[in-house]
């Protein structure tokens, strides 16, 4: 059994981890253990009760002075309860002050995964039975209930957590901070691994020791953002890729978020994560509930690789719903870097013809095909085909491209509106602008109020009509600015604190409507590249444009950081032109191809401008990727070296589950005269099997798995700046 309840102790087991809570004599739900698999021992014996100065006591315990929520490990902490540490919940229940203190009320165990209405959440499958533990906490005085939900994915060592808040009072409550989970560790000394960044430089790994006090990661931008990512790792100091204890925490939410970690005066560590609460104020009327987003938690005793593998499997099997997760995805060319806004029918058909000749599968027409859209200053919101620019109907264009053997996709940015658009002129109140104030603009565009039913109905109608009219196979869904000064003309002033969360719920609703009516549609997520790369978006989109930065060398760091929490098949990566449009770097065509094969493969350039030898290389890249598609998309991924280390190269590997074949890719990032010998150690092979090793198609020799993993392979000397190599290993039979 995964969930065991005995003597007020709740123990959750996964394959290799154990999570435990206990209801104590004061009816407080204490957190007692999370770590490697143990048994049902009551671990509350590890908690010491002391008279600690300036730590207030819970009513009824004042005389002994040893019971204080200010130092006890709790499962879900509240502000105003006498706990001065970071809290998971801040609520006003009627007094005007934060006056909530939660005690245990009830529990139940379900033989299925809980469901979150309107929000993405991990789901059960026919192959793995998932249990739910629901623990209900209640305010000590008011009829205010907090339902803590735990989904147990035993085989993947994953526990999901979510919170549902229920108001049974006669008056409204105000929620000012709602975290999706809180957890207390009895120790300090953990390293925090997080993934900071910027536009065109997302998910840069940073590792540092949590110090006393509060460490905070936060997005206030209305999206999970380029700058921060809602996924972090806690690791012991000695934890490496291959060994050591670590924990992963990922929020399934695509809006602003807040993560806080605190090391308290007694060397205990608390972590909370949930909705960004900077501008959050949710009025919860009587008989209504509020649902906080889900969090995925994972504990690994097998280092960072073990953690990543468990999370990758969970995302692929229990978060991504699209049928495309198990289908062969199209290798595409996107028109943006080839044409930007400057195109006509002839140019698009020429790109398509080149793509067909090279063996590509799809052409994607990026920005500029709709409304009056010849720059990014106008047209957003007018989702009507510009037939003058396309030289005819979209259906006619798509039919010609289908005739070349290619499928067809379109770029859209549904959540935004240009002031110079027919939509804005007709419905200025649909934009999120504060009355009487000049709006905050980004990229010369405003944000639509996605919390409005009429906005969702308009967008669904227009997008559905376009998809249906021309047999569209793929949508690239973009979002090219952050939210600022969010305001809804539909809400009274006392409820403006709900706007940002309602915006995200509206985005999810629109995506759900489109996917329900077009179940075979492949949607690629995008927000100026990787500004909304999170597990919440992966619930709707099986792949996400990883970054607007297509430079192969900078992508090494971006894709490396992304790989810690997200499967490589979710990373959309393309070969672009050289010198690169973003940073001017010149890299070999071969290197650009090898880097792009780290994700869902494609091209982002004008194919007609490729030199003959580059076209030959492109055709070979496409052939090689198609031949080994299963390995690239579904193989076990290993980080063999880090682009953040001061080394000469970055290397990674895909190995199949049966350990019969592998592909090892190496990109050199530094050159030296009289160079040393570089050796890389492989992973995921069978010690006693023999493998034939090929380098760029040429047989190099036969070696045992033990030799390749323990002694390694010697890397070739790079022949030019940013040279790259690809090894293919196949079991000898």
**Catalytic positions, please?**
534, 614
Q: Are 532 and 541 in contact (CB under 8 A)?
A: no
- Count CB atoms within 10 A of the CB of residue 385: 20
Q: Are 369 and 340 in contact (CB under 8 A)?
A: no
Query: Where would I find the beta strands (DSSP E) of 392-465?
Result: 407-412, 416-417, 446-447
640-651 in b/e burial notation, b at 16+ Cβ within 10 A? bbbbeeeebbbb
Pairing of strands 522-525, 474-477: parallel
Pairing of strands 362-365, 213-219: unpaired
* C-alpha closest to that of 319 among 179, 480, 471, 125: 125
H-helix or E-strand containing 511?
A: helix 499-517
* CA 45 remoteness from chain centre: 37
What would the two tokens of residue 118 be? 């309107």
For 260, 476, 687, 695, the CA distances from 731, given in Å and listed in that order, are 47, 39, 11, 15
- Count CB atoms within 10 A of the CB of residue 277: 20
Q: Are 448 and 432 in contact (CB under 8 A)?
A: yes
CA–CA dist 8, 2 (Å, integer): 16
Decide: residue 676, CB within 10 A, 0-12 exposed, 13-18 middle, 19+ buried. exposed
What would the two tokens of residue 320 be? 């991504």
- For the chain, the residue count is 733
* C-alpha closest to that of 456 among 510, 405, 502: 510
Alpha carbon distance, N-terminus to C-terminus of the chain = 42
Q: Are 100 and 91 in contact (CB under 8 A)?
A: yes
What would the two tokens of residue 34 be? 């999370």
Q: Which residue bears the tokens 């203190």?
A: 101
Decide: residue 342, CB within 10 A, 0-12 exposed, 13-18 middle, 19+ buried. exposed
Q: Are 304 and 246 in contact (CB under 8 A)?
A: yes
CA angle 552, 675, 654 (to 5 degrees): 40
List the beta bridge partners of residue 417.
446
CA–CA dist 139, 101 (Å, integer): 5
Q: Is the peptide bond before 154 cis (omega within 30 degrees of 0)?
A: no
At 265, is the secondary structure helix, strand, or coil? coil
H-helix or E-strand containing 145?
A: strand 144-153
Q: Are 298 and 248 in contact (CB under 8 A)?
A: yes
CA–CA dist 251, 726 (Å, integer): 35
Decide: residue 417, CB within 10 A, 0-12 exposed, 13-18 middle, 19+ buried. buried
């Amino acid at each position: 059994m995964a969930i065991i309840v005995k003597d007020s102790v709740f123990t959750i087991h996964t394959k290799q981890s154990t999570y435990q809570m206990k209801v104590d004599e004061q009816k407080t739900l204490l957190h007692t253990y999370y770590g490697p698999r143990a048994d049902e021992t009551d671990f509350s014996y590890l908690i010491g009760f002391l008279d600690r100065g300036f730590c207030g006591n819970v009513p009824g315990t004042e005389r002994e002075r040893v019971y204080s929520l200010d130092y006890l490990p709790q499962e879900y902490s509240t502000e105003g309860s006498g706990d001065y540490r970071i809290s998971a919940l801040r609520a006003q229940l009627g007094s005007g002050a934060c006056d909530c203190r939660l005690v245990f009320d009830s529990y139940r165990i379900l033989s299925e995964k809980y469901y979150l209405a309107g929000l993405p959440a991990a789901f059960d499958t026919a192959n793995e039975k998932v249990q739910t533990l629901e623990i209900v906490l209640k305010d000590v005085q008011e009829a205010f209930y907090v339902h803590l939900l735990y989904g147990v994915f035993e085989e993947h060592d994953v526990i999901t957590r979510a919170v549902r808040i229920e108001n049974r009072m006669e008056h409204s409550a105000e929620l000012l901070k709602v975290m999706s989970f809180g957890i207390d560790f009895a120790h300090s000394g953990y390293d925090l691994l997080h993934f900071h960044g910027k536009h065109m430089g997302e998910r840069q790994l940073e590792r540092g020791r949590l110090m006393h006090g509060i460490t905070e990661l936060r997005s206030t931008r209305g999206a999970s953002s380029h700058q921060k990512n809602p996924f972090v790792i806690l690791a012991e100091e000695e934890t490496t890729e291959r060994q050591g204890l670590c924990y992963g925490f990922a929020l399934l939410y695509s809006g602003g978020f807040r993560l806080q970690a605190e090391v308290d005066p007694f060397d205990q560590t608390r972590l909370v994560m949930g909705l960004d609460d900077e501008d959050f104020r949710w009025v919860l009327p009587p008989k209504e509930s509020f649902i906080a987003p889900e969090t995925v938690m994972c504990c690994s005793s097998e280092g960072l690789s073990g953690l990543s593998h468990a999370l990758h499997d969970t995302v692929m099997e229990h978060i991504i719903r699209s049928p495309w997760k198990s289908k062969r995805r199209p290798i595409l060319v996107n028109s943006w870097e080839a044409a930007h806004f400057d195109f006509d029918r002839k140019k698009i058909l020429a790109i398509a013809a080149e793509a067909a000749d090279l063996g590509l599968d799809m052409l994607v027409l990026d920005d500029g095909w709709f409304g009056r859209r010849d720059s990014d200053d106008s047209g957003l919101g007018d989702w009507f085909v510009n037939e003058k620019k396309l030289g005819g109907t979209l259906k006619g264009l798509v039919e010609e491209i289908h005739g070349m053997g290619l499928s067809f996709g379109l770029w859209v940015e549904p959540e935004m509106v240009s002031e110079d658009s027919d939509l804005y002129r007709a419905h200025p109140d649909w934009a999120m602008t504060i009355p009487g104030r000049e709006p905050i603009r980004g990229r010369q565009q405003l944000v639509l109020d996605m919390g409005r039913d009429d906005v969702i109905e308009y967008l669904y109608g227009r997008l559905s009509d376009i998809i249906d009219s021309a047999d569209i196979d793929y949508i690239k869904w973009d979002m090219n600015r952050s939210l600022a000064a969010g305001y809804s003309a539909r809400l009274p002033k006392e409820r403006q604190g709900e706007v940002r969360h309602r915006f995200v719920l509206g985005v999810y609703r629109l995506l759900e409507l489109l996917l329900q009516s077009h179940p075979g549609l492949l949607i690629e997520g995008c927000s100026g590249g990787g500004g909304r790369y999170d597990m919440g978006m992966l619930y709707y989109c099986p792949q996400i444009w990883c970054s607007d930065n297509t430079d192969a060398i900078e992508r090494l760091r971006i894709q490396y950081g992304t790989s810690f929490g997200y499967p490589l098949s979710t990373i959309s990566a393309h070969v672009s032109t050289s010198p690169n449009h973003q940073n001017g770097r010149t890299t070999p065509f071969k290197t650009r191809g090898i880097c792009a094969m780290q994700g869902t493969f494609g091209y982002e350039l004008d194919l007609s401008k490729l030199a003959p030898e580059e076209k030959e290389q492109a055709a070979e890249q496409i052939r090689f990727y198609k031949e080994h598609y299963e390995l690239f998309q579904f193989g076990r991924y290993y980080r063999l070296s880090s682009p953040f280390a001061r080394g000469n190269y970055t290397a990674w590997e895909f190995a199949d589950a049966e350990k019969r074949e592998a592909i090892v890719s190496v990109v050199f990032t530094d050159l030296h005269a009289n160079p040393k010998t570089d050796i890389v150690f492989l992973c995921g092979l069978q010690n006693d099997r023999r493998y034939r090793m090929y380098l760029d198609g040429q047989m190099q020799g036969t070696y045992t798995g033990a030799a390749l993993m323990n002694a390694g392979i010697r890397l070739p000397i790079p022949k030019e700046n940013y040279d790259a190599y690809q090894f293919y290993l196949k079991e000898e039979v």
